[in-house]
Structures are given as C-alpha cells and as structure tokens.
Amino acid sequence: ETENRLDDCDFFFTEFSDPLDNETAAFIEIKTTCPGREIPADIYVITYKDPEQRQYLNPPVRSVPNDGFIIICRNRLSFKYKLYV
C-alpha cells in the first residue's frame, strides 16, 4: 500500500487559464515531483463559485505522465486547438 501513496509527491499549480472570450478553453497545469507514479484516487476540481460541487475528471487520470505535468482542461478539443494552431 505504501507504494501507491503520494505522500512524497509535491504538486505545484503552474498555470491557470479561464479566457473570457472562450470559456471552453479553460485549463489548469500542475507540475509534480513524481513522474510515472500511479494516482490511487479519482481527481476532481472544485471552484470558489460552488465549492460543494465536485467535477470529476473524465476520463480519470490514473498516473502522472512521464514529464511530471498534469493538464486538466475543460474541453480537450478547444485546448488542443488553442495550443497547437
């Protein structure tokens, strides 16, 4: 069980974006110190607007990518379009 815990993993919010002109392109970027590690629980996002409502990620994130960055975007297609076009 110890190997599945993230007690020794730090998470740093490195970027937030919630553009007024395209709210579907909102995203959060998180840098971790534990690339490749499994995430033992579902990740969810809450906002100050409604802290009681949890928005679970779909599909759920099951492991930290090898580069150590987790990117949570409201709409994956809008996110890709904004970054790569």
Amino acid at 47: T
For the chain, the residue count is 85
Residue 64, classified by CB atoms within 10 Å of its CB into exposed (0-12), middle (13-18) or buried (19+), is buried
Give tens-digit pLDDT for 2-55.
Answer: 455 667 888 899 998 887 887 777 888 889 998 988 887 777 777 777 778 777
- pLDDT at 74 exceeding the cut of 50: yes
Q: What is the reported pTM? A: 0.68
Amino acid at 28: I
Tell me which residue of 51, 82, 50, 64 sits closest to 12, measured CA to CA: 64
